[in-house]
Amino acid sequence: MSQFTDIDRLAISTIRLLSVDQVAAANSGHPGAPLGLAPAAHVVWKQLKLNPQQPEWINRDRFVLSNGHACALLYSMLHLSGFDFKIEDLKNFRQLGSKCPGHPEFELPGVEVTTGPLGQGISNAVGLALAQANFAATYNKPEYTLSDSYTFAFLGDGCLQEGVASEACSLAGHLKLGNLIAVYDDNQITIDGNTNVSFTEDVAKRYEAYGWEVLYVENGNEDLDSIAECIAQAKQSKDKPTLIKMTTTIGFGSLQAGTHSVHGSPLKPDDVKQLKTTMGFDAEQSFVVPQEVYDLYNTQIIQPGVKQYNEWTQLLEQYSSKYPELAAEVTRRISGELPQDWEKTLPAFTPKDSPVATRKLSEIVLQNIQGALPEMIGGSADLTGSNLTRWKEAVDFQPPSSGLGDYAGRYIRYGVREHGMAAIMNGISAFGANYKAYGGTFLNFVSYASGAVRLSALSGHPVIFVATHDSIGLGEDGPTHQPIETLAHFRALPNMQVWRPADGNEVSASYKVALTSKHTPAIIALSRQNLPQLEGSSIEKAAKGGYVLQDVENADITLVSTGSEVSITVDAAKKLAEKNVKARVVSLPDFYTFDQQSEEYQLSVFPDDIPIMSIEVLSTSGWSKYAHESFGLDRFGASGPAPEIYKTFEFTPEGIATRAEKTIAFYKNKQVISPLHKPF
């Protein structure tokens, strides 16, 4: 006998119409997928562990709408299940300042991750599931299951075609994440029409190849029992993620059902009317929720969820008396605060210390801080030995059956999957529990992950990209591996720290600021080659994003540089001094952090009346924010030993000094204003 009644079917009609009404009110949006997916959403919600009054509850089930364009559906569900989405909010769908924007945004209550850019949501879901597995393995005790939540995701053909999803799902299969349940909305329609124009692969077979369990719902439009059975079965699949391939009709019930014209355009008014009539609703009314539906959601979803939450808080209390230290750690992590004095574990350096590559200094930082920060979880996209992202005692995050690690392990072998890695990191961060996710690759290949990095910034996930081999200084691998445009790209991205530390203190500062950051991700660009420990650097100064490394009275020029060029610039200043040319040297490891400082401080670093020249072996684009002139590399690099390449492109003390002198001559007898002054 079915567990579903007519009230369930009424609820599904309500969801369908609420979603269609949102799109109609905005005269913009995507009605097709919500119409097809409403039954699955209803069935999933009926067994979702949630508490709308505690949307951040750490043991809630997560729901990710990877096909984010179907967001009207999500807003309908969040409204019915008691989250802070009023009918008035739904009526403002896609309006400026609305709580129901055109794609779901992370900040909103009940929205687990920002979706819309295809392939990201399902990849974030892998990260959420990974974090849950790690959290559970770290804190659960035989008699106390603090964490046992599931991650659900809806996704469509678009997400399945994206490479980022392929990467993340392959890894999810490898990692045997049985807590991940994805519902594939197999409606055979994308924007270009039928999927047979471009997407005829056997998706189920591919996911089996990844190591997933694949289940089937043949009639996702109506067969609620089949959906429920698949979900129950998926929950039993403990060592495999599950893909439920569910056949639906896009725009179910609409006159345009089953066509791509119902994907991204509002239904015609007549179509909306016939839909309402057919479903037994008043064709003239909009945004209608029958009281029985509210009651069903209240008694069958909200109340059980609140009860589960209350039981969980009691469980945590009992846990606290038995495991006070662990409980304190859990509580601290949930509060989002780092441990007191963690930053004292950061190494500091003096000029007497040996020259070391900043990637190696990054390894030292990770080694030093990992004990203090159990929330730190990181890895590399198959460049562990090059990125130096693994501390000595690290345990790999692996399925215990692999014999290679366990789920409490905090080192992730991402494989050669940069984009998947970044999207998974976003998911880990979104899980909560103060997870600090980092991931390593070459700086040049952070670009492969651009789609996900952008969402780190837009969503405010404070993840860290450990980006080594940050310039032509990597040498022989040549221009395919040497970043040029990369820093300019990510510095132009809002809400993104882009560190390029010059020595050990600056590396410590970059981690200090990045790890303290609550809503801003960071890229830390690190050298392959050794760099000296600078006279004048300190963690405190570098943590301001920029500072005067070497000052001089009555300076003729301010030289500002980052990373591996700072020490060369210091040598250039010495060369200039020999000619009685006075150069200040500024180190500017992160534009974003520097921009947060007071105007007064910023002007003390870049004062008026002194021409400013920047030095960095990458694109000069973006530097004019601080410098009048820029010495950089606005062409591709070359393959050869690094010192020879530096020489060829004149990134030497002489090459810098010559340009400094030309800059001074150019600005002689001209009024020089700091670029920090702006008319608006």
Find the catalytic residue in 112, 363, 375, 418.
418
Segment contacting a copy of itself by CB under 8 A, of 229-237, 335-343, 409-417, 571-579 = 409-417
Among 86, 268, 322, 635, binds a copy of itself (CB under 8 A): 635
Q: Which of 499, 645, 651, 657 binds a copy of itself (CB under 8 A)?
A: 645
Exposed/middle/buried for 368, CB within 10 Å: 0-12, 13-18, 19+? middle
What's the CA angle centered on 104, arms 462 and 114, to 5 degrees?
Answer: 25
C-alpha dist (Å) from residue 372 to 344, 425, 623: 10, 20, 37
Q: Is residue 152 at the binding interface for a copy of itself, with CB under 8 A as the rule?
A: no
How near is the Cβ of 63 to a copy of itself at its closest, in Å?
A: 18
Helix, strand, coil percentages (3-state) for the chain, rounded to 5, are: 45, 15, 40
Give the phi and the psi of residue 523 in degrees, each rounded to 5. -105, 130
Q: Which residue from 110, 173, 532, 589 is in contact with a copy of itself, where contact means CB under 8 A?
A: 173
- Judged by CB under 8 A, the stretch of 54-62, 147-155, 189-197, 558-566 that binds a copy of itself is 189-197
Q: Decide: is 484 part of the binding site for a copy of itself (CB under 8 A).
A: yes
Q: Establish if 659 lies at the interface with a copy of itself (CB under 8 A).
A: yes
- 3-state SS of 269-332 is HHHHHHHHHHCCCCCCCCCCCCHHHHHHHHHHHHHHHHHHHHHHHHHHHHHHHHCHHHHHHHHH
Q: Is 209 in the site for a copy of itself (CB under 8 A)?
A: yes
Which of 49, 419, 461, 500 binds a copy of itself (CB under 8 A)? It is 419
413 among annotated binding-site residues: no
According to the annotation, is 254 in a ligand binding site? no
Q: Please list, residue by residue across 81-103, b when 16 or more beta carbons sit within 10 angstroms of its beta carbon and e when fewer do.
A: bbbebeeebbbbbbeeebbbbbb
- Hey, what amino acid is at 187? N
State the first-to-last Cα distance of the chain, in angstroms, to the nearest integer. 69
Name the residue among 133, 208, 153, 169 with its Cα closest to residue 415. Answer: 169
CA distances from 130 to 269, 480, 523, 557 (A): 44, 32, 22, 51
Size of the site for a copy of itself (CB under 8 A): 125
Which of 1, 494, 518, 598 is the binder for a copy of itself (CB under 8 A)?
494
- What binding mask, one character per residue, do residues 119-148 give for a copy of itself by CB under 8 A, x or -? x-----------------------------
Report whether 390 belongs to an annotated binding site.
no
Of 523, 610, 609, 599, nearest to 558 by C-alpha is 610
Is 477 within any annotated ligand binding site?
Answer: yes
Choose which of 87, 328, 404, 577 interacts with a copy of itself (CB under 8 A). 404
b/e per residue, 464-475, with b = 16+ CB within 10 A?
bbbbbbbbbbbb
Q: Which residue has the tokens 């050869």?
A: 640
49-88 residues in contact with a copy of itself (CB under 8 A) are 68
Classify the phi-psi angles of 639: left when phi > 0, otherwise alpha if psi is within -120 to 50, otherwise beta: beta
Task: Tell whether residue 116 is among the known ligand binding residues.
Answer: yes
Q: Which stretch binds a copy of itself (CB under 8 A): 36-44, 206-214, 314-322, 499-507?
A: 206-214
Structure tokens at 257: 């059902």
Min. distance of Cβ 351 from a copy of itself in angstroms?
30
Are 549 and 586 a contacting pair, CB within 8 Å? yes
653 makes contact with a copy of itself (CB under 8 A): no
504, with CB counted inside 10 A (0-12, 13-18, 19+), is buried
Q: How far apart are CA 356 and CA 522, in angstroms?
A: 22
Other Cβ atoms closer than 10 A to 436: 23
In this complex, which beta carbon is closest to a copy of itself, that of residue 292 or of residue 485?
A: 485
Among 239, 295, 337, 476, binds a copy of itself (CB under 8 A): 476
The dihedral through the CA atoms of 597, 598, 599, 605 has a sign that is negative
Options 145, 495, 530, 538; binder of a copy of itself; rule CB under 8 A: 495
Q: Give the binding range for a copy of itself (CB under 8 A) out of 213-221, 277-285, 300-308, 455-463.
A: 455-463
| Chosen residue from 499, 511, 592, 631 binding a copy of itself by CB under 8 A | 631
**Closest separation between CB of residue 223 and a copy of itself, Å?**
26
Position 579 contacts a copy of itself (CB under 8 A): no
Write the binding mask 590 to 619 for a copy of itself: x where contact by CB under 8 A, - elsewhere: -----------------------------x
Residue 95 binds to a copy of itself (criterion: CB under 8 A): yes
- Both tokens of 411, joined, read 């080192």
Secondary structure element (H or E) that encloses residue 438, with its range: strand 436-442
Least gap, CB of 42 to a copy of itself (angstroms) = 26
The alpha carbons of the chain give a radius of gyration, in whole angstroms, of 28
Q: Does residue 276 interact with a copy of itself by CB under 8 A?
A: no
State yes or no: residue 569 binds a copy of itself (CB under 8 A).
no
The residue among 258 and 504 lying less far from a copy of itself, judged by its C-beta, is 258
Instruction: Decide whether 87 or 191 has the Cβ nearer to a copy of itself.
Output: 191
Q: Among residues 378 and 532, whose Cβ is nearest to a copy of itself?
A: 378
3-state secondary structure of 253: coil
Q: How far is the CB of 208 from a copy of itself (least distance, A)?
A: 7
Figure out which of the listed residues 237, 368, 384, 674 binds a copy of itself, where binding follows CB under 8 A: 384
Q: Contact between 479 and a copy of itself (CB under 8 A)?
A: yes
Give the torsion sign (CA, 101, 106, 111, 114).
positive
For residue 428, give both structure tokens. Answer: 């880990």
Which member of 81, 166, 249, 508 binds a copy of itself (CB under 8 A)?
166
Task: Identify whether 329 is a catalytic site residue.
Answer: no
Tell the residue number behind the tokens 């355009």, with chain if given: 265
Q: Smallest gap, in angstroms, from Cβ of residue 526 to a copy of itself?
A: 17
Q: Tell me the closest approach of the beta carbon of residue 532 to a copy of itself, in angstroms.
A: 23
Helices (DSSP H) in 338-446: which residue ranges?
A: 358-369, 384-387, 418-431, 443-446
Q: How far is the CB of 372 from a copy of itself (least distance, A)?
A: 26
**Annotated binding site for Mg(2+), which residues?**
157, 187, 189
Q: Where is the binding site, in residues? A: 30, 69, 116-118, 157-158, 187, 189, 263, 359, 386, 445, 469, 477, 481, 528
Residues with catalytic roles: 418
Known binding positions for thiamine diphosphate? 69, 116-118, 158, 187, 263, 445
